[in-house]
Structure 1
Amino acid sequence: MSGFKVIALLKRRADITRDAFIRYYENYHAPLILSQFPSITAYRRNFADFTAAFESDAAPFDFDVVTEIEFGDRAGYDAMLARHADPAVAAMIAADEDQFLDRAFTRMFVVETRANDLEENSL
């Protein structure tokens, strides 16, 4: 695995529309995160569209976006954690998240990524 990756599953507040959620995340929260954590090398937001879900009898979804946060290495991730441990930074991030997220549903975890390049390895 090259680099270091974290996934966040995030849920919008119930009183906010999907469009308002996406606008806030893109226009306010993403720039804030990138300004506070310079060790992030990639920051992707994958907004779920549950109207096209594959299984109609699947358990209810408890997230609205899958966010991918990448770092060059573990040290970059550790630098982000250290900065987030600053009470002023943590309070600023939490206050912003309260504007659009239901923070009770937030889940973040480290992943090990593996991929197949299908163009180079035709079936």
Structure 2
Amino acid sequence: MIKIVFFLKRSTDLTREEFRKLYESRHARLGEKHVPNAARYVRRYLEPVPELFTGTMFEPEHDVITELWFDDRAAYEQAMANLARPEVVAEIVADEETIFDRSKHRLFMVEECDSPVGAER
């Protein structure tokens, strides 16, 4: 399994609620359209909470963690090749410019290590 994780920040013009609505109703549809071979496509929206020991509230550096999961390297490479097509880039970037602060995009490949906890012990 290969997982690509995107850390994304909303445009300063949007509230969290507006951003989530636009992402789910429009931008996520582009992911579904242009990465149909993903095993999973997950959006994890970040909601600030007070810092545990001080109670201080911080604006998160990112508003959503998006994950694209692929069964293997071949599926990942196929998806990346599709996403690199000029017409796909143009469509995605045009939408991103309306909802994201694109200067804050961060992208990582993730290797997971699980520890047994709770009932798994």
* Structure 1 position 32, deviation (Å): 1.3
SS at match of 1:8: strand
* Structure 1 position 50, deviation (Å): 1.1
Q: Distance in 1 between matches of 2:90 and 2:47?
A: 30
Q: Distance in 2 between matches of 1:66 and 1:53?
A: 20
SS at match of 1:63: coil
TM-score normalized by structure 2?
A: 0.88
Letter in 2 for 1:7: V
Question: What are structure 1's unaligned runs of at least 5 residues?
Answer: none
Question: Structure 1 residues 87, 115: CA separation in 2 closer, same or farther (over 3 Å shift)?
Answer: same
Match of 2:73 in 1: 74
Q: Distance in 1 between matches of 2:32 and 2:50?
A: 31
* Structure 1 position 120, deviation (Å): 4.5
Between stretches 30-39 and 87-96, larger displacement belongs to 30-39
Match of 1:101 in 2: 100
Match of 2:113 in 1: 114
SS at match of 2:67: strand
* Structure 1 position 62, deviation (Å): 1.6
Equivalent residue pairs, number = 120
Match of 1:34 in 2: 32
Task: State the Cα deviation string for residues 26-66 of structure 1 (Å, max 9, x = none).
Answer: 11111111111112110111111113444656986321111
Between stretches 35-44 and 104-113, larger displacement belongs to 35-44
TM-score normalized by structure 1?
A: 0.87
Question: What are structure 2's unaligned runs of at least 5 residues?
Answer: none
Q: Distance in 1 between matches of 2:50 and 2:65?
A: 16
SS at match of 2:42: strand
Letter in 2 for 1:102: D
Aligned-residue sequence identity (percent) comes to: 33
**1:23 aligns with one of 21, 24, 33:** 21
Question: Structure 1 residues 73, 20: CA separation in 2 closer, same or farther (over 3 Å shift)?
Answer: same
**1:5 aligns with one of 3, 7, 14:** 3
Q: Distance in 2 between matches of 1:32 and 1:43?
A: 11
